């Protein structure tokens, strides 16, 4: 089962996700959906609805982790599992490090997150330079970050090959408005069938603070 967008944005509001993380998550979703759509056009069986929801929720426990410690990917996975969405949880749990090198929804969201610095699509090099400056200003974590960078370069090669994309093409997403019918309005997501029909006209740029999350949506 995959929740509707109203449920997703309600959960984001309930968890008190900071505005800058919301902006980041929306851009990660845009990149992930673009990659997933390209992979589908290339013949791969990628669930775009699952990608959409998991990308929006990949940092659902980031604020908790900053405030109280812990691995926010693992915390997010456990939260989504407890709410009855293990498929989303599995992707959220892998958005920092993948459990396998299989080209699937988890790899799409993982790579999309690595291409978004704050709320802009950038190259891997720029993204990891930013990580180095923020998390290793004294060089103490540089070896670990560089090792992670080398691993993500391999992920990038696999993703771009599967999607038949050039790396620089994704940066054009910075120019696309949030209400674009593919990357914002998401009307193509109706392919999931009647269970998702009610979500077609939901504005992905809107966070509905008044609607409580309903697990049985």
Task: Grade residue 120 by pLDDT with cuts at 50, 70 and 90.
Answer: very high
Place of tokens 């103490």: 140
Chain centroid to Cα 201, Å, comes to: 21
Residue-level pLDDT at 215: 39
Structure confidence at residue 11 (pLDDT): 96
**Nearest by Cα to 213 from 1, 13, 72:** 13
145 or 106, greater pLDDT: 106
Across the range 56-68, mean pLDDT stands at 90
The pLDDT value recorded for residue 182 is 61
Instruction: Give residue 45's pLDDT.
Output: 95
What mean pLDDT is predicted for residues 25-30? 93
> 91 to each of 140, 187, 194, 197, how far by Cα in Å?
29, 23, 24, 24
pLDDT of residue 107: 98
DSSP string for 89-132: HHHHTTSSS-SS---SHHHHHHHHHHTEETTEE--HHHHHHHHH
pLDDT digits (tens, 9 = 90+) for 162-214: 999 998 999 988 988 765 656 654 443 333 333 333 333 333 333 333 344 54
Q: How many C-beta neighbours within 10 Å does residue 166 have?
A: 8
Which pLDDT value is given to residue 189?
38
Q: What is the mean pLDDT of the chain?
A: 82
Q: For residue range 65-97, what is the model confidence (pLDDT) as tens digits?
A: 888 878 899 999 999 999 999 999 999 999 999
Lowest mean pLDDT among 34-43, 58-67, 159-168: 58-67
**92-101, 115-124, 126-135, 137-146: the lowest-pLDDT one:** 137-146
Identify the structural domains of the chain with CATH numbers, from first to last.
Answer: 5-189 (1.10.3210)
Contact 109, 32 (CB under 8 A): yes
Q: What are phi and psi of 91, to 5 degrees?
A: -75, -45
Query: Is the pLDDT confidence value at 127 over 80?
Result: yes
How much of the chain, in percent, has pLDDT values that exceed 90? 61
In DSSP terms, 117 is beta-bridged to 120
- In this structure, are residues 24 and 176 in contact, taking their beta carbons and an 8 Å threshold? no
**pLDDT over 90 (residue 60):** yes
Where do we find the tokens 């999350």? 213
Q: Does the pLDDT at position 155 exceed 90? A: yes
């Amino acid at each position: 089962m995959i929740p509707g967008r109203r449920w997703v944005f309600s959960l984001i509001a309930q968890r008190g996700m900071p505005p800058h993380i919301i902006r980041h998550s929306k851009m990660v979703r845009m990149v992930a959906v673009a990659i997933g759509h390209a992979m589908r056009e290339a013949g791969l069986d990628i669930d775009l609805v699952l990608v959409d929801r998991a990308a929006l929720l990949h940092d659902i426990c980031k604020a908790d982790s900053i405030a109280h410690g812990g691995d926010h990917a693992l915390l997010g996975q456990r939260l989504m599992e407890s709410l009855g969405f293990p498929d989303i949880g599995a992707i959220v749990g892998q958005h920092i490090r993948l459990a396998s090198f299989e080209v699937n929804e988890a790899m799409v969201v993982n790579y999309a997150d690595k291409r978004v610095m704050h709320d802009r699509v950038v190259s891997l090099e720029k993204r990891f330079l930013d990580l180095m400056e923020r998390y290793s200003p004294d060089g103490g974590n540089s070896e670990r970050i560089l090792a992670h960078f080398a691993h993500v370069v391999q992920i990038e090669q696999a993703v771009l090959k599967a999607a038949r994309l050039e790396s620089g093409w994704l940066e054009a997403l910075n120019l696309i408005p949030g209400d674009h019918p593919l990357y914002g309005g998401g009307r193509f997501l109706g392919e999931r069938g009647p269970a998702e029909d009610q979500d077609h006209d939901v504005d992905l740029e809107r966070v509905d603070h008044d609607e409580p999350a309903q697990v049985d949506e």
